[in-house]
Structure 1
Amino acid sequence: MPYKLSATLKAHTSDVRALSSPTNELILSASRDSTTICWQRSSAGPHFTPDNVLRAGSRYINAVTYIPPTPDAPKGYAVTGGQDTIINIFSLEHPKDDPDFSLLGHTENICALHATPSGTIISGSWDKTAKVWRNFALVYDLKGHQQSVWAVLALDEDRFLTGSADKSIRLWQQHKMLQTYIGHQDAVRGLALVPDIGFASCSNDRGVVAEIRVWTLGGDLVYTLSGHTSFVYSLSVLSSGDIISAGEDRTVRVWKDGECSQIITHPAISVWTVSSMPNSDIVSGCSDGVVRVFSASEDRWMSQGDLKEYDLLVASQALPSQQVGDVKKNDLPGVEALLSPGKKSGEVKMLNNQGIVEAHQWDTATSTWHKIGDVVDAVGQSRKQLYQGKEYDYVFDVDIQDGVPPLKLPYNATENPFAAAQRFLESNDLPLTYIDEVVRFIGKNTAPVDIGAQGEEYVDPYTGASRYRSSGSAPTTAPASEYADPFTGASRYRGTPQAPSSAIIDPLNRTSRFSGLVASTGSVPLPKTLPVVKYVTFKQANVNAMQAKLFQFNEAIRNEISTSSLALTPEEITGLNETFYYLSRTTMSPPLTVSSVPTSSHISLIARILERWPSSQRFPVIDLSRLLAEFCPKAFSTPGLKETFLKTLLKASEWDSPWTLPLSKPRDTNTLLMLRTVANVFQEGSQVNDAWLSQLLENLSQAPYTALSKNLRVALATVLFNVSCLGLSSPLAAPLRNQHLRLTLGVLESETDDPEAVYRAFVALGNVVYFNNKTDNNIFDSSQISDILQCIRALPSRFKEDRVRNIFEEIATML
């Protein structure tokens, strides 16, 4: 039976770049809309509904894979990666706002993930490396490719395949490269295991050489599959052993016994990804943001009406002439040409239907011609372009002077033209005075493209438009202990979800599980961890929901006689709206330029609100401060403002009040968001004066550590870690360094059960020791070295994780 449409899954608002379909009931889809959606099959039939929406940041998600169930995760884990350079892992049993694990190590976009049944993960990145992770820690760095690693495949626990933009495929045994496979003419984009043979690979090979290659592991080319007319992006293998492929020519193709047995054309520019289910259904993800399921089982097909509607949608698309070759309208036959059968599946026939050039494709499975679109001269870029191993919508040749080869100008349609122009000029050592001319060139030579049905506007099925959380989303039903909004139960706010005590998680930030620490096996060298120089900041934002919550609170305050005098003034409302507008644009992916940037007056406005609003209604205002510290640090640059605002934050969170346990939920939430805000003050290029930092460390040391919840402890440790990063780039004065050391050692000595807080504080200490060792300044006296050694000796016995033990060994070696 031929494959026909079984289900259409709409929820994403941008391209679906990666899929995993590990069971017949579960599909994981990753998108450029910065989400991963878990789709669950309805018990009533072939339909799927969004079960969970996972948000691991604000940038594109380009890769997803699945780890089968474990005792800690009875439904398994979803593993995601993308432009944030972080690998995030979510338990599907009870997904939380924040990932259960976040793995750091890559320095550029993560574009490929694969996992073994036991949970070993391999990742590929634009940073030219692949990395292997076991027990959520780095075990092997696979280095050797000359350009981006676009495809990865774990053959077993110790053997891995990687495909790269350098046109090669490599086989690795642990961290050692065993073999290189050469044959593709462009970037290798996909790999798939072919049982009893070896593996298949696909690439950006163009035109008549757009090939899928099937290899033995020994390096022999078994056969090639030709038929795609543009880049081939993705491969998978059905349970029957048949290969399926997807590409830039809008098709999914089914290959049986070395021949194309069926072509499934999509109403989109690109089919980015394809995946097979255990029941041999096919899942595709496209540039139109839609996930589609196709089945060869008639009982899972959509209704005849739906199938006809889909065919009409495909037929209505406009095709660029580049996709189907040069077109001479007057030389084309009429519709009578469709009476003759095609010679092979995938054959494209163009005809002149009353002045309109139509493209029809022969389908061997149904022995019919299918209209796949109307041919136009062009509709913009029909193919993605690669430049230095990275993907762009356009790569222009720019002539600078006669006799000199043209320079390459890469550009994505979604990025700011000024940013692209500046990058081009700086990389080629050209004067920035040319920036306006380059921007005009980009504008003249690019145009928006709009082909295919766009995804419907996405509405979070769990939180709705009005739900506000400081980051992410979660199911509507909250634990009984959750802090509920006193005005609307449906809009309850969770500062941070609690994690099972056995989980090693970062409950606050999606970017900060320090990884790369696991026991070495055999002679494999363990990657060094110290120093860790990348600041951990809290960037997640739901600006619209935050704005709605703040103004909802304001209305409640205004309507209550006893608090009406505390309500916002018209000037404050105007200032807040300006701030929210700026943040809503800046936190987009990619960010949009806003001419009006918040200033010190906006910070002073927020401080006034914090000083007078009730404790239970301060949290969205403090969280607004967190975003301003991250995305608009210059607003705090007025002399004295940062010190004044710190005092306001500490008072608003009741930091200096008696620490009577248990802390009230409003106080715990406010304190958590205050620490997040402070952590965001420290970032690349930040300038922190000694007086402010000294006051901060003094205040932080006054809270009894045992009174802090686990979430607060991790937040405090994050601040200490960021201070250590600052000390690596801008050496701290001795009094500040001593303050930081005392507070860090205090955390390490007091922490008894939370490995994440210990690990962050431990890395903070390691950064300080590294600085001392590298600069040979001997910044520690003998008593401090004794205190450090005495403190750290106890940690490996209290926290038996390999990452803790390895940091201990690195610090002990340096001391």
Structure 2
Amino acid sequence: MTYVGRRGVAACGVWTATNGQVVLAIIWMEVEGQYGLSQQLIGHSKGVRCVCVLPDGRLLSGGQDGLVILWAKEEETGKFKVQKQLEHHTNFVYAVCASAIHDPLTFYTGGYDKRIFRLSADGDPFMQFEGHQGPVCSLLENGKALFSGSWDGTAKVWSLETGACDLTLSGHTHAVSLNVLVNGEVVTGSQDKCLRFWKNGHCHKVVTDAHEDIIRGICVFSSGVLTCSNDGVVKLWTLEGEEMKQIPAHSSYIYDVKASLNERPDGLPSHFYSVSDDRSLKVWEPDNSDPSQVLMHAKTVFQVAVLPNSDVLTACEDGVLRLWTKEEKRYAPAEERAAQSEQAEQAAVELQQKGAEAIDAANLPDASMAPTMRGIRIGQTKLFKEGNSAVVYQWNGQGWDKLGEVVGKAPGQEGNTPPMLGGKRQYEGDRYFEAGEYDYVFDVEIGEGSGYKKLPYRRGENPLLVAEKFCVRENIGKSAVDQVAGFIRQNTGQGTPLQQQYAQGGGGGAAPKAAPSAPAAPKAAAPTAPGGAKSKHFPIHDILTFQFQAAKVIDPLFKKLKELDAELPEGTEYKLDANDHIYFQEMIARFKNPNFLKQEFRRCEMHIIFEKFIRWEASKAFPVMDLWRIMALHPKSADLHKASDDGWQYIAHALFVMKQDINGPGCMLGCRYLSNLFVNPTNKSVMIRRCPQVLDALSDLAGSTNKNVRAGAATVLVNYAVSFRDSHKEGTLDDRLQLLSLGAEFLQNENDPESCYRLFAALGTLLLSPAEGFGESLLESAKALEVGAAVAKAASTCGADARVQEAARDLQGILK
């Protein structure tokens, strides 16, 4: 937060004092021309990771939601608005940059999916640069070549004409940041703490230990270089790599540093800007070791960009881009500025209170040592030990002033914070985590049969960034990042401890098991039925799914989809265009991948599958239903059912297709789609809420002459029964009665043993559900509906199938 006066600004530090009150340590600094909030740009649904300014004045941002957004300024209001959302990446977007060639205007994006795209001014991808083995985190183009840095420990130089990789600059470890000097030399930095200077592909200078931790950002201006690091320090270098100055700038990791576009006569920038995990943007003058302004945010600030008019843009973990200006007439309304400041202040207080809980006073310097320790800058705060307590002191320029005691639990004390048994832990290192000491090394289970994987973590690291690296290393999809980050927070004293394991799959549960093309026979326990009868067939405990064999299914399926699309007249709104065909081909590889459930599908691909194909006429919809059936198994399908209308349009469309021909393949595949919707908890909840409509539509299928259709419909009934059994809160008594009635109706004309057995399984599971007020009503209704007679008739019709006869006897026993 920032308090602006006529001639100065007050920057605050927040601490919890002994009496429980929050202490604000206010430092007043003489400054001129203060930045104020001008606009908050809202368009990303998750954290914004990167931002740049295009030559035509538009803004470009990339985020953890996988989106790249173009922002254009409205002439009337002078405010930036979303011009276009681009969905060409399959995962987090880590880097964006403009081309130095302005005619025609193009720009570049790179991210977690290891790909770099070049796009036209309208946002159409027309070139890809592929070759990195890890996420792309740094991009720059100087009009002659494209330069990229990656988590794979390399930087690459690419041809702008062909997209080929001309040079690979190796030698670093882990994520590589880069920039290019005016003379064409490349400057790189990474987790190995070194700066490297490259000329024509050869490293001619290495600055070892340029920083004490990971080098995050490199900025070049006409006479020098700025770097920032996890060590909280910004450094100023000559173009030859000689250190000129260092500034202890932030209390946590610094993610980016940028120089102003205005330079002084001595060649130094008039100002530079740094952003950090400490949630702040700081404005600096090269000759001053104290910031001229501190602008607080509610969460981590990942990147900063400087506009030609000296406005500054920040990209924040809360999903908001914020534009800051020195022109008071362009300040946001006072209410909006006050709300933003209050939000940042509250976040700072909450963060400090959480931080207090993890302080171990035993590791702090004794307060008696304070007179011998000199502060780095006025206003710096430092913790000392007094007895068994942690106490906050602040440097006044000549000595340390005591602010108060920090209250909270130290690790290992009462409460839920896990103890630090044995102190630091050694980790041997890998491609993404350096070797050395860590505060925690977790054993994380990423899936059945995959064993445990090591997850190293140091206190103070951003859990989200650590989770991202872990998921890249283990080839886990981005849907798992938030869960892994939550696991870290919970198990490092930032929340309630969780069981130290992580099961990959939708909703944190186990991923659906592999199964044959048709659903496996239901498995049941042997509970005691009413009246003391025993059943080995009911209740069913697991959802039944229709899986697929990629080697046999995918190529013919996509070939058919392509043929049907080709038949659509030119100009048809939902006919695939040139970009769609590119996305279409890329989708095929994801569907054929053995790790299909871990593949990331872009919004543009989901748009083709569910928004374009839904508009095909029902007679051509059977391959669409097959594609939907497969996609229902994937965690990404849940996104369709999180909107206010809960995605009912897709289920309703499937029911419409099924009704057009109850004996056709579209109906059979529609049933399989509905069955697979029960796999994901979000989709299942929608199916339960819409139970009356779904069962009402399924009643038309009782007269189908296609046994595969009837088996599919019976599987939907089984899954409803299993879901109702899982929780008495799922569905109503009326839903259960409707299911009971429909099951009995299907049995009246059933002569296929497989369909018959599934119907018995649905009814048996429903009737053996925990009572919770439903049991007696269901049994009485079953007798009134003469379900016993329907069971007997179906059993006799299906002949001597032993499994059917056994299940029929068990079901009759329940009904007595």
Structure 1 length as normaliser, TM-score? 0.48
Select the structure of larger CA radius of gyration.
2
Higher RCO, Cα 8 Å, sep 6+:
1
